[in-house]
Structure 1
Amino acid sequence: MRRVTSATVALSLAIGVLISMGSPAQAEKRRRSQSAGSVKNTDIIAEVSRVKISGRHGATNNDTVKLTSQNSNWEPPACWYEPKTTPKQLKEKIEGLKPKERKKGGGEGPLTGNIDPLKIADAVRGQITNIYEDYYQTDKYKNYNIDKQGEGMFWEGVKNPNRKDDPAADECSQHAHWVDKGQTPENIPLAVTPEVLAQYAYEELPIPRTAISLNPKGKQTVNLDTWVWADKKRFKKVSVTASLENPAISATTTAKPVSLTLEPGTEDAKTYPGSGTCKLGEPYSAGKKDQTPPCGVRYLRATSKNGTYPLKATLTWEISWKGSDGSGATLPAGTFSTTEDLTVKEIQSIVRD
């Protein structure tokens, strides 16, 4: 087994940074343009968000799932910008990139051939430090805005924790932007807002796994109605809140179960109602044996030997949100499905419990 050394790690770091920075000529060109103030993409990798998730109102257990949006073209943002760093913290962060002085003869020497990974890593770190120091010590910021400590924050790109491995999560990689306290950020793409928080909270909703009840249970019978329903005590309105403390903004996203859609798994069947979509249904009881189920299915042909029909039940949830600033709207409805494999037999007499 190859031993992982600090030289190996340094080389990996250097290679990774060099890939993001491009060639030395490109890096120098970028350094000159950035120091002039024309900063667009500076390869800061988005960091961890400070957004907190709380509430989870309506959750009854840990067996929860994520909804699938009915709008295939919509998904929560992969990243956004939020107030994250004080002037002092930003200065310390950038100065922490500076290469450390090494004692003569220190390090482990070349890893292969004439490559000295420690020197490469130091050179790259030095180049990065120059780029950011040049930018944050211009007249625009005057020493990282240290004299404005407590009067605002630098807004930085952060990743949606649920999409941190998505390449789109690295798109929020511009320089940290200064925003005075109480001011609305300008010219910052995907700056965090209650709506952005609401969209993030969509993926954090405590949705219980879809489960259905049937009568008759077990084997079904040809031409006998099967009642289907979802437990209303289990499937009820749920919500979750996403929030930031500084500045204090939040959004509460709520999901409400509104319909159950049945797909019998064969064309030799009919659904109640005919569309296959009903409300959550209602439990069967002995006094309802002559009634048509408000939500159910009737199989018209028996399953083949050792075969089954996959009865698919999809629960649809309406999604809405309300922000701390009074804003609010709806988000695309979401769904989650389950499948019951049913055996259908033909018999001469039918008796319900």
Structure 2
Amino acid sequence: MREFGYQRAHDVTGALALLAADPDARFLGGGTNLVDLMKSGVERPARLVDVRDLPLDRVEPTADGGLRIGATVTNSDLAAHPEVRRRYPALAQAVLAGASGQLRNMATVGGNLLQRTRCGYFTDVSKPCNKRVPGSGCPAVTGEHHNHAVLGASGHCVAVHPSDMGVALTAFDAVVSYASADGPGETPLTDFYLPVGDTPHRETALPPGALITHVSLPAAPVAARSRYRKVRERASYAFAIGSVAAALTVEDGLVREARLALGAVASRPWRARAAEAVLAGAPADGATFAAAADAELAAARPLPDNGYKVTLMRNLVVSVLTELAGRDAR
């Protein structure tokens, strides 16, 4: 790791000014991803601007019945917050599934959304990677790709986004708020992550030098009946090979409302709009749930070694929706 400068910011304006003064500076939250990438040489900031002292560490109810989550709220505090557990249980479950207690105590909400892919070619600077060096190629397409994308990928990049939290936030229409030199702004999380296309190095719509300040969840009564399920290759903490955040309301045997997002299948948390359309107003049974999964996964384009993900995700969607429908029936 090369030498770097360090400064602690105490207000948002000061943090933006410190970053603007040094084009090679980076914001530092918990550091659970950034510091690892600095050690491997993927990230080489000249200066770190520590934002953990900013007054962005609260989870607050909003007037419309939603929640406003500060960017420096730790993952542990988010998962333990009683209103998160009551109103959006799938979010608490996703955070708890994401990492060990030690990491959750350090990791922040803003940093979680901005974490980089764990693709082995990206984290190994001796290998080409279009995310690190645009135009250098994507060796994962013909190389090791068993845990890579089956949806929304391109020949320029087939890596997946590693966030568990982001999958649940995507299912519940989260909105990202940020501060920048041009003033405040916000964007829905579904638009926050950019499509891969031929520019995989451009990962988010966050303006250069901007700082995430909050993530807002609108009121969503359906979210109180939600579930997050993650499949991984070992029982201990590991990144997902597939995950589902789902919420379901059933009345008179029919699906009144459904939310569904998939993880570890694309370069961003994947909102399953096609599946939701099939579910709306349909019988809450296994046939409907399978049809919904098939509708979403019809767009899947697996590589030779990750086709298992299509079957895995189909079964996972059906299983989680069946469990939620059973809860509503009780």
TM range (shorter): under 0.3
Q: Point out the structure with max Rg over C-alpha.
A: 1
Q: Which has the higher helix share?
A: 2
Instruction: For CA contacts below 8 A with separation 6 or more, give which structure has more relative contact order.
Output: 1
TM-score by length of structure 2 reads 0.21
TM-score (norm 1): 0.20
Query: Is the strand fraction higher in 1 or 2?
Result: 1
